[in-house]
Amino acid sequence: MTQTDTMPIPDQVLEAAARIAAHAHITPILQARSIDTETGTALHFKAEHLQRVGAFKFRGACNAVFALSDAEAAGGVVTHSSGNHGAALALAAQLRGIPCHVVVPDGAVPAKLASIQRYGATLHHCAPTIAAREAGCAQVQADTGATAIHPYTHPQVIAGQGTAALELLSARPELDALVVPLGGGGLAAGTALAIQALQRDCALYLAEPVGAADGARSFAGGVLDHEFVPDTVCDGLRGSLGAINFELLRTTDARVLTVDDAATLSAQRMLLACMKQLVEPSSAIALAAVLGNQALFAGRRVGVVLTGGNVDFTALADLLRE
Amino acid sequence: MTQTDTMPIPDQVLEAAARIAAHAHITPILQARSIDTETGTALHFKAEHLQRVGAFKFRGACNAVFALSDAEAAGGVVTHSSGNHGAALALAAQLRGIPCHVVVPDGAVPAKLASIQRYGATLHHCAPTIAAREAGCAQVQADTGATAIHPYTHPQVIAGQGTAALELLSARPELDALVVPLGGGGLAAGTALAIQALQRDCALYLAEPVGAADGARSFAGGVLDHEFVPDTVCDGLRGSLGAINFELLRTTDARVLTVDDAATLSAQRMLLACMKQLVEPSSAIALAAVLGNQALFAGRRVGVVLTGGNVDFTALADLLRE
């Protein structure tokens, strides 16, 4: 997508919180005695799967849409995510009363497309390649004057995603660590900014699938690694870490914890059995990172962002039978 | 079980709230825009599936256990529920530091027995008949001096169950109707008392399975009907309406709405898909009653008690494949 990615600053998270306040839910913070006992930690789950459209993605999309000038907004917005960001952008555009275009690759899940259309967005089909998706977006931009809102490198998206941690840290000032999933890095970078905005001495851990560990390799090597083929059940974390996100995160003490899919699915089951909460694997990975690193988290007060709950029921049925 | 069932009064719900405050969760109240839009109502879900042991049953059990005198408590407590009440009583007894005995019929679900044992209760196995269960309880009482805590006719259990509605109506004074499931009638009777205690002009609807509609028949005929064989997926609502519960409810304007199992399972799916909440069929039936009576509830502000979330994953997997 054609856009200029300027580095967001901590104050933009505070501005985002004010900007989205009329539209986004202040999601509850859940706790589970049984999981605390098992892990030896005090876990505070920020329930973003109860956010509008069922994912934290609404925060960033909403902030980006409402940060547009009236002139920009008149042309509408465009993106090429067929997942939660697409639905989130569609709803945000609907709330502002502007057009939304979503470029979707052939073969995308029909249920997700229906969700995007329910919020009034126009779908544009393309071949299932990155090049075709980028070209589709460029074409929509040329035809309509729409502004591209990238799912995780747009600075206002990053700032908006940071509002989840801002709410969590404001409600639970005693937290000494946060754990969030790492995919493209929008939530991770936004969370780092939120910690800075509040000037908290709070460690940040990023849970990343072993099968899409470009983030871990990038931080270890000091160079962005985006030559990899993702192989993970965490469909929300298959994208490669964004350049701006990498630059922002490498200046912090954020640490990547890699998690294999079996541990993630086990955590997803635990959230359903012990907390009655349905979350995506891309979300359960954060709890799995805690469960897999008990010595690291023992005795600490840890915030965990449950990022989304849009789960395909057939896949869930398979999980429950295991 | 041998006990004297005196009719509880509204003030006992207020006393129960104070008695259990140190032990029970104040559960969240959830809303779902998508379901409100579909039903044309404003629904406020009291999330008792997030209560300790995963069900509202902890409220009544906790109130009954902590209402015992020290002398009574020393002998411990006994019941013959192998479901949520058994686990709830076990935890309540553990919190007070007294023995708990649970008489369980052969063939009871191993996962539920494990849950009861996890809270330190002693299991006593018996044949799977009501007579054997009653005899088992009487034997434990004779042997140990334990006090019987019936799952839904014990007056302190009824008063304790009423605290869920008390919290809901206190937090949402604008509600003009409540919907709760009807099985043995502990929650229903307690909810009626809570409405009276707060002197609210709030209608009460009782959602009952078509396959266990002894309540509907009893209210229609004016005589308690307990000659029936339950046939419903709502395993928590198969018991017959208690005599004291019937007497208490028939003096109110409470109205029974019968619901078939297909509608209940559809509501259970909806709660998972739209609200990411895992609840038992015995709990989803309350939403199903709203969905099946839209003209009745349209334009109203309705409280719905989500009573429990202890779901067998194999059964859930079957549901998701339908």
pLDDT score of B161 = 98
pLDDT beyond 70 at A191 = yes
pLDDT score of B318 = 87
Shared domain check, A167 and A131: no
Beta bridge partners, A259, equal A209
Report yes or no: A154 at the B interface, CB cutoff 8 Å: no
pLDDT digits (tens, 9 = 90+) for A85-136: 999 999 999 999 999 999 998 888 787 888 899 999 999 999 988 889 899 9
**Residues B78/B103, Cβ–Cβ less than 8 Å:** yes
Q: Which chain A residue lies closest to B314 (C-alpha atoms)?
A: A321
Shared domain check, B127 and B98: yes
**Which residue type sits at A143?**
D
Interface test with B, best of A271, A276, A277 (most B CBs within 10 A): A276
Shared domain check, A286 and A255: yes
Domain CATH code at residue A36? 3.40.50.1100
> Residue A30 and residue B49: Cβ atoms within 8 Å?
no
Q: By CB neighbour count within 10 A (0-12 exposed, 13-18 middle, 19+ buried), where does B139 fall?
A: middle
Please name the residues between 241 and 270 in chain B that touch chain A, using a CB distance below 8 Å.
269
> Residue B50 and residue A33: Cβ atoms within 8 Å?
no
Q: Cα separations (Å) of B112 from B50, B82, B107, B117, B225?
A: 17, 7, 11, 9, 29
**Residues A261/A209, Cβ–Cβ less than 8 Å:** yes
Tokens read off for A117: 């259309």
B1: in domain? no
Q: Which of B94, B159, B156, B164 is nearest to B306 (CA)?
A: B164
Shared domain check, B71 and B18: no
pLDDT digits (tens, 9 = 90+) for A260-319: 999 999 999 999 999 999 999 999 999 999 999 999 999 999 999 999 999 988 889 988
pLDDT score of A4 = 61
> Residue B50 and residue A276: Cβ atoms within 8 Å?
yes
pLDDT score of A196 = 98
Q: How many angstroms separate the CA of residue B8 from the nearest CA in chain A?
A: 32
pLDDT beyond 90 at A194 = yes
Q: Which of B85, B42, B34, B84 is nearest to B272 (CA)?
A: B34
ipTM of the complex model: 0.92
> Residue B313 and residue A33: Cβ atoms within 8 Å?
no
> Residue A50 and residue B317: Cβ atoms within 8 Å?
no
Nearest to B320 among A33, A52, A317 (CB): A317
Report yes or no: A279 at the B interface, CB cutoff 8 Å: yes
Shared domain check, A198 and A182: yes
Report yes or no: A314 at the B interface, CB cutoff 8 Å: yes
Expressed as residue numbers, the domain containing B140 is: 58-148
Shared domain check, A46 and A138: no
Report yes or no: A37 at the B interface, CB cutoff 8 Å: no
Backbone angles phi, psi at A41, to 5 degrees: -125, 170
**Residues A207/A233, Cβ–Cβ less than 8 Å:** no
pLDDT score of B3 = 54
pLDDT beyond 60 at A3 = no
Shared domain check, A286 and A177: yes
Q: How many domains does chain B have?
A: 2
pLDDT interval class at A187 (50, 70, 90): very high
pLDDT digits (tens, 9 = 90+) for B237-257: 998 999 999 999 999 999 999
- HSE, CB side, 13 Å, CA atoms: give it for residue A179: 30
pLDDT beyond 90 at A320 = no
A1: in domain? no
B194: in domain? yes
B174: in domain? yes
A2: in domain? no
Query: Of A114, A148, A182, which one is at a domain's C-terminal end?
Result: A148
Strand A122-126 and strand A100-105: pairing?
parallel
Could you give the percent of chain A with pLDDT greater than 70? Answer: 98
Q: Which chain B residue lies closest to A312 (C-alpha atoms)?
A: B273
Give the list of residues 6+ apart from residue B246 with CB closer than 8 angstroms, or none.
B185, B215, B218, B219, B224
Query: Of B97, B117, B148, which one is at a domain's C-terminal end?
Result: B148
A113: in domain? yes
B31: in domain? yes
Question: How many interface pairs between A and B have CB atoms less than 8 angstroms apart?
Answer: 53
Query: Rounded CA gap, B185 and B206, in Å?
Result: 9
pLDDT score of A17 = 98
Report yes or no: A278 at the B interface, CB cutoff 8 Å: yes
Residue B97 Ramachandran class (φ > 0 left, ψ -120 to 50 alpha, else beta): left
Q: How many CB atoms lie within 10 A of CB B38?
A: 14
pLDDT score of B4 = 61
Shared domain check, B171 and B32: yes
Nearest to A317 among B28, B49, B317 (CB): B317
B20: in domain? yes
Shared domain check, A131 and A178: no
Please name the residues between 40 and 99 in chain B that touch chain A, using a CB distance below 8 Å.
49-50, 52, 54
Report yes or no: A317 at the B interface, CB cutoff 8 Å: yes
Backbone angles phi, psi at B247, to 5 degrees: -60, -40
Nearest to B276 among A50, A273, A317 (CB): A50
Backbone angles phi, psi at B55, to 5 degrees: -165, 155
Shared domain check, B223 and B194: yes
pLDDT score of A184 = 95
Greatest alpha-carbon span in chain A: 57
Shared domain check, B240 and B158: yes
CA angle, residues A251, A256, A258, in degrees to nearest 5: 160
Q: Which residues of chain B have pLDDT under 50?
A: 2
pLDDT score of B320 = 86
Shared domain check, B33 and B110: no
Report yes or no: B278 at the A interface, CB cutoff 8 Å: yes
Interface test with A, best of B49, B119, B276 (most A CBs within 10 A): B276
Query: Of A95, A127, A148, which one is at a domain's C-terminal end?
Result: A148
